[in-house]
Amino acid sequence: MGDLPGARTVVEFGVGTGVYTGEILERLRPDATFLAFEIEPDLASAVAERLGNDPRLRVINDSAENVEEYLDGAKVDYIVSSIPFTSLPAGPRQSILGAAREALKPDGKMLVLQYSTTVLPYLQRLFAPIERRLSPLNIPPAFLFACSVSEGPIREEEVYDSAESDRLPYVLGALTLGTLLFLLRRRRRAKRGF
C-alpha cells in the first residue's frame, strides 16, 4: 500500500514504543528524512535513545498537529499513523487529520493502522480515494487504510451514506475470524483434555 523504499520524506504519528519506527527505518533509502512524533515524553525519549543514532531519524516530542512546523516547507511522501483516532476528542482528531492532509505531497499517502473501521468516516472527510486492507493474522486483527489526497475530500453528507455499508464487511470479517480462532482454541483444548 506504500512505496517506503522510494520515499524521500516519511513521518510517523504516534511512535509509542517504536516498534513500527524500527520497521520503517529498515525500509527507507539512505538519504531519506524520517520525522517520528510522540506526545508522551518518556516514550519519545526511549525511542530516541534506542534508534536515535540513525541520521535519517528525528524523534519529536510534540503533537502531530504541529507537523508542518518541523518540515521547513517540505511536503511528505508518506505519513504512517497508529494513533487511535476514534478514542481522541473531535478537536484533536480533526486537527491531526487536517495537518496530515496539508503536509502530504499531491501524490502522497497517509497509512493509518486501526483496530476497527469506525475511523473511516473521519478519513473520508479529508481523503479520497482510500484503499482498505484487513490484516487477519495480526492479533487483534487490524485494518490498514491508505489515504490519498489526489481526488480531494468527499462531501460530508456522502461520508455518512457510504460509511455504514462500507463498514459492515470489515466488521463481519473480524467477527468471523475471531470466532474461528476461538473455536480452534477450544477444539485444541478438548483434544488435550482440558
Domain ranges of the chain: 4-192
| Cis-peptide, bond into residue 129, ω within 30° of zero | yes
4-192 to CATH, choices 3.50.30.40, 3.40.50.150, 3.40.50.300, 3.40.50.720: 3.40.50.150
DSSP assigned state of 153: P
Instruction: For residue 162, give Cα distances in angstroms to 36, 90, 150, 167.
Output: 33, 20, 19, 9
Task: Give residue 164's pLDDT.
Answer: 45
Give CA–CA dist 130/45, Å, rounded. 33
Band (pLDDT 50/70/90 cuts) for residue 166 is: very low
User: Using one digit for the tens of pLDDT, what is the confidence trace for 55-77?
Assistant: 999 999 999 999 999 999 999 99
Nearest to 82 by CA among 40, 41, 21, 32: 21
DSSP assigned state of 45: H
Pairing of strands 57-60, 33-37: parallel
Q: Is the pLDDT of residue 172 over 70?
A: no
Q: What H or E segment, with its residue span, contains residue 159?
A: helix 156-192
> pTM to 2 decimals?
0.78
E strands along 52-192, which residues? 57-60, 76-81, 104-114, 130-135, 142-148
Q: Name which residue leads in pLDDT, 118 or 181.
A: 118
Task: Give residue 165's pLDDT.
Answer: 43
